[in-house]
């Protein structure tokens, strides 16, 4: 695309977005609080591509080309040159609003702001800017390079022009977009969260083991991945934050995080990223064994 693209947040989602954008031949700046965090984000991108190389999915030349198009940064002043800003920080409304206020002061007037939030109100984020018509949500799913879907979420004041630009970005990235009108949880998060929560309740109640619950859902309903392994992949802290946001917005008990989920998050067992969740993982995120790690009382 012609616009300079800035990603704010070098975590898992920011990394996936940077890789996906760079894979299309476009330059992108990956920004976080410190240069070390930004560099580590790019390092993680390289490690993920290495896994693809081992599976004959990519070549070393492709890796070099992709990484060469991602520039690390810790200077928010880089926003002054950005035509598109993609915000990919954790789903905390206060922090996102603070960031949008700073970006609004720095970015050119015609820059559009894209938030990757899974549950928060686009309209509420846009209110802190002087450009609510240029704020839109694009909810990508993890892992970004592989999942072919993106939800494009319009706020109450999002313009048709901004929506068209978001559609163009989705097309560039090879994603199938679905139009979503603002409502807590949109489509994918609102539907998947109760499923994950119920699977965790079934495990907590001793109805079956984690492995057997996931096998039941994969073989019985054609899921490519079981709900507990999916929660591990997403990050249990992230899943719990989605539930709490939806519970606060909708006041429906089905979004109240299962006590076992709360217990695991407190214990730091967050899934793939920490090596332990409902299952155990190596440093590359591969399942080590099928031991159910949550039966310890």
Weakest-pLDDT range from 28-37, 44-53, 250-259, 279-288: 279-288
What tens digit of pLDDT does each residue of 235-246 get?
999 999 999 999
What's the CA gap between 264 and 279, in Å, rounded? 12
For position 74, which CATH number holds? 3.40.50.720
Asked if 166 and 26 sit in the same domain, the reply is yes
Mean pLDDT over residues 229-252, rounded?
Answer: 94
pLDDT for position 290: 57
The residues, any chain, with a CB within 8 Å of residue 222's CB and separated by 6 or more, are: none
Q: What does DSSP say about strands 280-281 and 287-289: parallel, antiparallel, or unpaired?
A: antiparallel
Residue 55, pLDDT score: 87
DSSP string for 158-225 = --HHHHHHHHHHHHHTTPEEEEEES-TTTTHHHHHHHHHHHHHHHHHTTSS-HHHHHHHHHHHH--SS
Residue 184 has what pLDDT?
A: 83
In-domain check, residue 297:
no
202 shares its domain with 147: no
Residue 2, pLDDT > 90, answer no
66 and 153 housed in the same domain? yes
Q: CA-CA distances (angstroms) from residue 32 to 53, 72, 101, 162?
A: 27, 8, 16, 25
Q: What is the mean pLDDT of the chain?
A: 93
Query: Is 56 among the domain residues?
Result: yes
pLDDT interval class at 291 (50, 70, 90): low
What is the pLDDT at residue 22?
96
Q: How far is CA 144 from the centre of its chain?
A: 8
What is d(CA 175, CA 54) in angstroms, rounded to the nearest whole number? 25
Residue 232: exposed, middle, or buried by beta-carbon count in 10 A (0-12, 13-18, 19+)?
A: buried
The verdict on 172 and 205 lying in the same domain is: no
pLDDT surpasses 80 at 77: yes
96 and 19, same domain (yes or no): yes
Report the domain count for the chain.
Answer: 2
pLDDT digits (tens, 9 = 90+) for 3-24: 799 999 999 999 999 999 999 9
Range of the domain at 90: 5-181
Same domain membership, residue 194 and residue 171: no
Residue 294 within any structural domain of the chain: no
Q: What are phi and psi of 121, to 5 degrees?
A: -75, 125
**Residue 42: closest CA among 29, 55, 57:** 29
187-196 average pLDDT score: 94
Name the band, by pLDDT with cuts 50, 70 and 90, for residue 1: low
112 phi/psi in degrees, rounded to 5: -105, 145
Q: Mean of the pLDDT values across residues 29-35?
A: 96
- Assigned domain for 296 exists: no
> Do residue 76 and residue 151 come from a single domain?
yes
Is 103 found in the same domain as 220?
A: no
> Over 90: is that where the pLDDT of 123 sits?
yes
Q: What is the arithmetic mean of pLDDT over 196-225?
A: 96
Span 267-281, average pLDDT: 95
Q: Which two tokens stand for residue 62?
A: 């492709």
Percent of the residues in the chain that have a pLDDT greater than 70, as a whole number? 97
């Amino acid at each position: 695309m012609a616009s300079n693209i800035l990603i704010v947040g070098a975590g898992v989602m920011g990394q996936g977005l940077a890789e996906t954008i760079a894979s299309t031949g476009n330059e992108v700046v990956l920004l976080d609080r410190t240069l070390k965090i930004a560099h580590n984000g790019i390092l993680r991108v390289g490690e993920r591509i290495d896994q693809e190389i081992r599976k004959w999915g990519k070549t070393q030349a492709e890796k070099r080309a992709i990484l060469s198009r991602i520039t690390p940064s810790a200077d928010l002043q880089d926003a002054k040159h950005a035509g598109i800003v993609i915000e990919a920080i954790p789903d905390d409304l206060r922090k996102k609003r603070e960031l949008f206020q700073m970006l609004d002061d720095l970015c050119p007037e015609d820059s559009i702001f894209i938030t990757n939030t899974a549950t928060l109100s686009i309209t509420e984020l846009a209110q802190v800017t002087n450009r609510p018509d240029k704020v839109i949500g694009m909810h990508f799913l993890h892992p970004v390079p592989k999942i072919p879907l993106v939800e494009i979420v319009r706020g109450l004041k999002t313009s048709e022009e901004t929506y068209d630009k978001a559609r163009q970005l989705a097309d560039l990235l090879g994603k199938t977009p679905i139009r979503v009108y603002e409502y807590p949880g949109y489509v994918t998060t609102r539907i998947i969260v109760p499923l994950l929560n119920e699977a965790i309740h079934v495990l907590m109640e001793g109805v079956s083991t984690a492995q057997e619950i996931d096998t039941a859902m994969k073989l019985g309903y054609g899921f490519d991945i079981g709900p507990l392994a999916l929660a591990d992949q997403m990050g249990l802290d992230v899943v719990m934050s989605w539930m709490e946001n939806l519970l606060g917005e909708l006041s429906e008990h089905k979004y109240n995080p299962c006590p076992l989920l709360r217990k695991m998050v407190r214990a730091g067992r967050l899934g793939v990223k920490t090596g332990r969740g409902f299952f155990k993982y190596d440093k590359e995120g591969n399942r080590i064994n099928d031991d159910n790690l949550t039966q310890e009382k």
